[in-house]
Amino acid sequence: MNCTVVISGGGPAGLMLASELGMAGVDTVVLEKEHDRETGSNLRSTMLHARAVDLLERRGLMERIGRDAFVKWPLIHFANFWLDLQPLLEHEYSLIVPQTHTVSVLEERAREVGADIRRGHELTGVTQDEDGVTVHVRSGGEEYRIDARYLVGCDGEDSAVRRLAGFEAPQSGITWYGVLADYENASAEPASPTYPGGLFARTPHPYKQGWVRTMTMELGVDAPGPEVPVTVEELRTAAERITGEKQELGPPTWAYRYTNRTRLAARYRDGRVFLAGDAAHVHYFAAGHGVSTGLHDAVNLGWKLAAEVRGQAPAGLLDTYQTERHAVGRRACVSAEAQLALLHPPERVAPLRELFEELVRFPDVNRHLVGVITDVRYPFEHTGATAHPLLGAPVPDAPLKTADGETTLAATLRNGRGVVLDLRDGSGGISRWEDRVDLVAATPVAGLDAARLLVRPDGHVAWVDADGTDDEGLRTALTTWFGAPADEQEAL
């Protein structure tokens, strides 16, 4: 069996990547070992950060997810210090969305654009050479192989791709271990989340009316092996160890053990094999950053891999995935490690926490910690682009008035192509790249200090023309990110 790209893992990162590749016409197979998306880690996360919402908005997916149907949470925590998002709420918030719902929307979209999604199919072997990747798969007692051009591991913290393909991802820092458990028709007597021994919380379920979710989390404690099933006794013992009090906990409807140490893959690419999401960076779950970071990994890689498959990618484009996203993954891991250092061991960090509690009251400190992972700006100055506050940053959304009517800047990116936004006369100068880049001519936008922008498919600004005169700069930027123009490629 042959295909172009195999993705191992049908969670948010894998399905987002499948959607991106499918939009570009790339033949894609997604292998997911779980038969049902209502099981496993997809029940863990309930949070989308504002930058992930922006990303999904650019693909028109927030309409399906339903931005207004879910709670916009005005707080986020850093080492269990609550940071106040209220002064920043227009741009910084957490949307409480069940991950199962997000996965459902992403899977529907990926299938629409042609992805072959195979649930109950587990990747068991990987070999690669300079021409392609051979993937071995097991399903229902049967085994088969797929010959592909590329393989992407989006298969979570215990990634089979990472292990089988030989990626180095050494463990570091403090272990964490806990159990999530859901109870139907149970009372949610509130439990203070922070104790000297760890965290224990009992709260109304984030998205199931009348249900209760219980969470334990201990630092510096080894968990039972993955072959040991989660039991009521394990949950009760952990809760009592943390709180120092007897806990009346019955059999849960669902329980999930989570445990790991920080891991950052030394590289995100090895030849024709890539890592994204939790397969590339595993860190303390602090405030749900993992899902959002993984979605951005997928969109960063997707358009670049599609360009390579179509033969349009400039030399080195695929290597920029490592350059850009590894730094973001490292930042996420450093932030998580810093939070663990503020939590454990409790008797030693108490003075530091007392001082830190004073610091987070300062608005500038609060704002910095809110965006320490999500404020991503790529260093594009090395490409020769003129420095500008927008360069390398996600393009801000804004209403646009065009000859065809009113739209938004985010909506111009929904087909996954690059965009030249021309806010002067609309001449653009992109005709030789129009097979992969769109020209959008609009009236000037208040607060957008530029005459022209080149926006990559992932929404990051790759070039800025302040006064509308830098035609040579535009040609260079288009070639840098989108390859030689069509007529030159045809001549090769």
Note the CATH architecture for domain 175-260: 2-Layer Sandwich (3.30)
Residue 259 has pLDDT above 60, yes or no: yes
Residue 191 has pLDDT above 60, yes or no: no
CA torsion angle for 273, 274, 278, 280 (degrees, to 10)? Answer: 100
* Residue 492 banded pLDDT, cuts 50, 70, 90: very low
* The CATH number fitting domain 5-169+265-370, selected from 3.40.50.1950, 3.40.50.800, 3.50.50.60, 3.20.20.100: 3.50.50.60
Structure tokens at 482: 């989108």
Structure tokens at 417: 């192509």
Phi/psi of residue 465, nearest 5 degrees: -115, 110
Whether domain 380-491 has CATH 3.40.30.120: the reply is yes
Q: How far apart are CA 406 and CA 386, in angstroms?
A: 30
The secondary element (H helix, E strand) that includes residue 451 is none
> Pick the residue with more confidence: 174 or 438?
438
Residue 32, beta-bridge partner list: 119
| Residue 263 near residue 172 (C-beta atoms within 8 A) | yes
Is there a shared CATH topology between the 5-169+265-370 domain and the 175-260 domain?
Answer: no
Residue 490 has pLDDT above 60, yes or no: no
* Residue 164 banded pLDDT, cuts 50, 70, 90: very high
Q: Is the peptide bond before 399 cis (omega within 30 degrees of 0)?
A: no
For residues 193-212, average pLDDT: 76
Lowest mean pLDDT among 130-139, 145-154, 245-254, 293-302: 245-254
The pLDDT of residue 39: 59
Boundaries of every domain in the chain: 5-169+265-370, 175-260, 380-491
Residue type, 133: V
Question: Helices marked H in 84-210 — which ranges?
Answer: 99-112, 160-164
In tens, the pLDDT along 44-101 reads: 667 888 899 999 999 999 999 987 777 787 778 888 888 888 888 778 888 888 888 9
Q: How far apart are CA 226 and CA 8, in angstroms?
A: 20
> Pick the residue with more confidence: 213 or 129?
129
Whole-number Cα distances in Å, 76 to 70, 123, 278: 16, 36, 21
For residues 1-17, average pLDDT: 93
Phi/psi of residue 439, nearest 5 degrees: -100, 125
Residue 406 has pLDDT above 90, yes or no: yes
Residue 343, CB-side half-sphere exposure with 13 Å CA sphere: 27
3-state secondary structure of 32: strand
In tens, the pLDDT along 437-461 reads: 999 999 988 888 899 999 999 999 9
Residue 361 has pLDDT above 60, yes or no: yes
Q: Look up tokens 């208040």; give the residue.
A: 446
